[in-house]
């Protein structure tokens, strides 16, 4: 579904990503881990089109998408959530999701009259709310939701665009134990219909969800493989002990 190779991004002299490779298909969660500043968000930003790569290839279903605009990539079926939230806080859950569905709607929808145009967007919004397990909260103003529910809404916003690929950048950031557990359950369920690239620091969640793991350090892929391969990789253990002691994988 998504095939990344030789992907690089340089900010002046800083090599934020160097020759990164990664692939993911529907039914799979590919988790990217690494210390702060390793280049994980930069990678997600290139996959979503928010940043243009310096060089390299990103193929979606065999089609090159590297360097396309975010709205183009979104219409091709790549949805993302942001490390910092992207919600309209004074709007309801349903309005937020409807706007997300509409803003990235295919051009064909412009043939509908303005009144009709709301219908498919509303249907997509309602479906996204159910998928994100926010049923019953459609008419709540977003700012009145708990932190965990706002992160679920963030997921709903990306689901409202009907993505096949989901890019999730630290969806558990700032969550308590109970909220984290709910989010892990939710992401696990989304796997069956999506190809998921997940950036996460919470190692319990990482190992609960990962089908494939890629470890990034200083813009490069240090190791990639099954959770067991990564857990037992001495280089990975050394990198984590060196850079982020308390975040080392449980071994």
User: Between residue 41 and residue 60, which ones bind Mg ion under the rule CB under 5 A?
Assistant: 41
Contact status, residue 142 vs residue 90, Cβ threshold 8 Å: yes
- 161 counts as binding Mg ion under rule CB under 5 A: no
- 42 counts as binding ligand ATP under rule CB under 6 A: yes
Residue labelled with tokens 């993302």: 80
- 37 counts as binding ligand ATP under rule CB under 6 A: yes
Position of minimal CB gap to Mg ion? 41
Least distance between ligand ATP and beta carbon 193 (Å): 26
C-alpha separations of 155 from 135, 139, 167, 171, 241 in Å: 14, 17, 10, 8, 32
Q: What is the CA radius of gyration of the chain?
A: 18
Residue labelled with tokens 């963030």: 154
Instruction: Work out which of 7, 31, 34, 102 binds ligand ATP, going by CB under 6 A.
Output: 34
Cβ nearer to ligand ATP, comparing 37 with 225: 37
Taking the C-alpha atoms of residue 119 and residue 112, their distance in angstroms, rounded to an integer, is 10
Angle between helices 114-131 and 93-103 (to 10 degrees): 120
- 131 counts as binding Mg ion under rule CB under 5 A: no
Instruction: Work out which of 2, 7, 16, 236 binds ligand ATP, going by CB under 6 A.
Output: 16
Residues that bind ligand ATP (CB under 6 A): 11, 14, 16, 34, 36-42
């Amino acid at each position: 579904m998504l095939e990344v190779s030789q992907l690089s991004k340089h900010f002046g002299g800083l090599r934020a990503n160097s020759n990164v490779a990664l692939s993911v298909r529907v039914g799979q969660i590919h988790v990217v881990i690494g210390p702060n500043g390793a280049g994980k968000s930069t990678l997600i930003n290139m996959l979503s089109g928010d940043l243009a790569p310096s060089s390299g290839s990103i193929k979606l279903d065999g089609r090159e998408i590297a360097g396309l605009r975010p709205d183009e990539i979104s219409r091709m079926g790549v949805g993302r959530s942001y490390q910092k939230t992207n919600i309209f806080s004074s709007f309801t859950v349903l309005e937020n999701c409807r706007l997300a569905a509409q803003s990235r709607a295919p051009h064909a929808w412009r043939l509908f009259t303005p009144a009709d145009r709301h219908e498919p967007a509303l249907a997509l919004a309602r479906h996204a709310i159910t998928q994100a397990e926010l049923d019953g909260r459609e008419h709540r103003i977003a700012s009145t939701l708990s932190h965990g529910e706002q992160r679920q809404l963030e997921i709903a916003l990306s689901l409202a665009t009907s993505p096949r690929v989901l890019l999730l950048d630290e969806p558990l950031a700032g969550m308590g134990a109970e909220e984290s557990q709910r989010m892990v359950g939710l992401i696990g369920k989304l796997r069956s219909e999506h190809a998921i690239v997940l950036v996460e620091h919470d190692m319990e969640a990482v190992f609960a969800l990962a089908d494939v793991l890629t470890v990034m350090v200083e813009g490069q892929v240090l190791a990639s493989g099954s959770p067991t391969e990564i857990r037992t990789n001495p280089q990975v253990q050394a990198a984590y002990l060196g850079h982020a002691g308390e975040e080392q994988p449980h071994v």
